[in-house]
């Protein structure tokens, strides 16, 4: 970590952990519910990060397969914040616009969620789901996705679980926008 502008420093700062603490035992991958579907499972992601291959790791599809269940961090015998490293790589991927194309849908959802919070202060699920589905449809032309989610809509409405207006709206919505702006959130 001697070189200035070492990309590892940013990851360590965001994740509040020390990458060199990882001794590659593999316990994180063994307990990961998505490990089998990952191009870069947690142990290998940690190794890539240790070697300074931050750009490569941030392009991996697996950081978006991660469910953020925190099992890896909880079980790490060296108390490395593995899921924090995943989050740091995700943030870097978003900032550098290098999200794996396979994960467009997942990042699309997370951004729709935050746009909604920025606008309303709380999530309005109907507005969020529509925003997400419409943008995703135009990007991927995935008709089945829209149909599948569309089928859920009536079931949710029938149970009074989809609300077209928030029960009690946030009074100071402008403040929420200011918080987002001061944190420099790009959506």
Partner 1 sequence: MNIGYYPGCALHGSSIDYETSVRACMKALDVQLDELDDWICCGATAAHCINHKLSVALPARNLGIAEKMKMDKLFAPCPMCSMELKKASDELKANPELRKEMAEIVETPVDGTVDVVNLIQVFQTVGFDAIAEKAKEKLWRFKPACYYGCLLTRPPKTLQFDDPEDPTSMEELLKKLGAEPVDWNSKTVCCGAGLTLADEPAVAEQVRKILQDALDNGANCVVVACPMCQVNLDMRQADAKKLGLTQDVPIFFLSDLVALAVGLEGKDLDFAKRYVAIPNEMKKTDPKPEDPKPAKPVAAKKEGAAQ
Binding mask 80-119 for partner 1 (x = CB under 8 A): ------xxx-xx--x----------xx-xxxx-xx--x--
For residue 155, count other CB atoms closer than 10 A to its CB. Answer: 10
Distance of alpha carbon 97 from the chain centroid: 13
3-state secondary structure labels for all residues of 95-149: HCCCCCHHHHHHHHHHHHHHHHHHHHCCCCHHHHHHHHHHHHHHHHCCHHHHHHH
d(CA 13, CA 148): 40
DSSP state, 35?
G
Q: Is 18 in the site for partner 1 (CB under 8 A)?
A: no
Binding mask 134-163 for partner 1 (x = CB under 8 A): --------------xx--x--xx--xxxxx
Q: Which is nearer to partner 1, 50 or 123 (CB)?
A: 123
Q: Is 59 in the site for partner 1 (CB under 8 A)?
A: no
Residue 139 contacts residue 101 (beta carbons within 8 Å): no
Stretch that binds partner 1, among 1-9, 18-26, 31-39, 47-55 (CB under 8 A): 31-39
Q: Is 41 in the site for partner 1 (CB under 8 A)?
A: no
Q: Is 34 in the site for partner 1 (CB under 8 A)?
A: yes
d(CA 161, CA 97): 35
Q: Is 166 in the site for partner 1 (CB under 8 A)?
A: yes
CB of 77 to partner 1, least distance (A): 13
Q: Is 50 in the site for partner 1 (CB under 8 A)?
A: no
SS3 162: coil
Rule CB under 8 A: choose which of 8, 71, 80, 85 binds partner 1.
71
Q: Is 184 in the site for partner 1 (CB under 8 A)?
A: yes
d(CA 182, CA 128): 23
- Give, to the nearest 10 degrees, the angle between helix 104-120 and helix 125-140: 140
Return residues touching partner 1 (CB under 8 A): 14, 33-34, 37, 65, 67-71, 73-74, 79, 86-88, 90-91, 94, 105-106, 108-111, 113-114, 117, 121-125, 129, 132, 148-149, 152, 155-156, 159-163, 166-168, 170-172, 175-176, 178-180, 182-185, 187
């Amino acid at each position: 970590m001697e070189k200035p502008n070492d990309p590892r420093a940013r990851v360590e700062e965001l994740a509040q952990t020390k990458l060199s603490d990882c001794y590659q035992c593999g316990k994180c991958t063994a307990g990961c519910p998505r490990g089998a579907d990952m191009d870069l499972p947690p142990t290998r992601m940690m190794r890539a990060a240790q070697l300074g291959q931050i750009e490569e790791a941030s392009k991996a599809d697996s950081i978006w397969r991660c469910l953020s269940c925190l099992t890896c961090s909880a079980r790490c015998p060296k108390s490395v914040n593995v899921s924090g490293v995943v989050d740091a790589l995700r943030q870097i991927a978003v900032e550098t616009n290098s999200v794996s194309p396979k994960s467009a849908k997942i990042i699309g959802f997370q951004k729709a969620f935050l746009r909604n919070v920025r606008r309303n202060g709380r999530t309005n699920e109907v507005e969020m789901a529509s925003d997400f589905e419409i943008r995703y449809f135009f990007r991927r032309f995935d008709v089945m996705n829209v149909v599948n989610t569309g089928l859920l809509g009536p079931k949710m409405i029938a149970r009074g679980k989809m609300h077209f207006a928030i029960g009690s709206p946030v009074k100071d919505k402008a403040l929420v926008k200011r918080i987002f702006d001061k944190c420099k959130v790009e959506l």
